[in-house]
Amino acid sequence: MSGHHHDHDHDHDNHFTAIEARVKALETLMVEKGYVDPAALDAIVDTYETRVGPRNGAQVVAKAWTDPAYAERLKVDGTAAVAELGYGGRGGEHIVACFNTPEEHNLVVCTLCSCYPWPVLGLPPVWYKSPPYRAKAVIDPRGTLADFGVTLPEGQRIRVWDSTAETRFIVIPMRPAGTEGWSEEKLASIVSRDSMIGTGLPHVEDAA
């Protein structure tokens, strides 16, 4: 484990729950009054959860893959390096970048709630907040990865990082072979949200 312990109460989550409750009430009202199509709302949420938010993190990863000096800065001070690209603020006060290597694969979980680095990854996916993921990731990380269709080489150990309100993690996946000479933009297109949580890997065939 990472040595990061939950020794604080999770007020920050309760705070967001209140906001979420208000948003939900507002959504319901708007849908009932016919101002908003529920499908359009879902599309907006999906955009932030899977596209807009994670694109920020994907830019960070692509720059780390192409700029060794930036990768070093990211290792030393994730928050500052992420801020260089214009990302930061609430939920990104202290970001630690965990670099995957052939020897070690990183997996992020928040065992007590759902702390998540919003500035680089957008909205947390529903499964990230679910008790089964939060429990199994710690007890059986290899089995958890198998649930996501990820099989690692036998010798590659898995390190599990427990997110807290103070510290949030972004996984920097290994750059896949066959991407030599690619632009940062093309590289960013293969960096999925799941690969920055550790439950996925980038694939060359996913290139935009």
Distances (CA, A) of 123 to 27, 171, 197: 17, 16, 12
- Given the residues 114, 163, 192, 195, select the one marked as catalytic: 114
* 114 given a catalytic annotation: yes
- Measured from the Cβ of residue 207, the count of other Cβ atoms closer than 10 Å reads 14
β-partners of residue 160 are 107
* 98 given a catalytic annotation: no
* 115 given a catalytic annotation: yes
The answer to the question of whether 130 is labelled as a binding residue is no
The answer to the question of whether 110 is labelled as a binding residue is yes
DSSP string of 50-113, one letter each residue: IIIHHHHHHHHHHHHHH-HHHHHHHHH-HHHHHHHTT--STT-SSEEEEE--SSEEEEEE-SSS
- Given the residues 2, 98, 113, 163, select the one marked as catalytic: 113
Among 195, 189, 193, 128, residue whose Cα is nearest residue 163: 128
Residue 147 is encoded by which pair of tokens? 């649930």
Under DSSP, the state recorded for 154 is T
- Given the residues 98, 110, 192, 195, select the one marked as catalytic: 110
The answer to the question of whether 113 is labelled as a binding residue is yes
Active site residues: 110, 113-115
Annotation: binding site for Fe(3+): 110, 113-115
Annotation: binding site: 110, 113-115
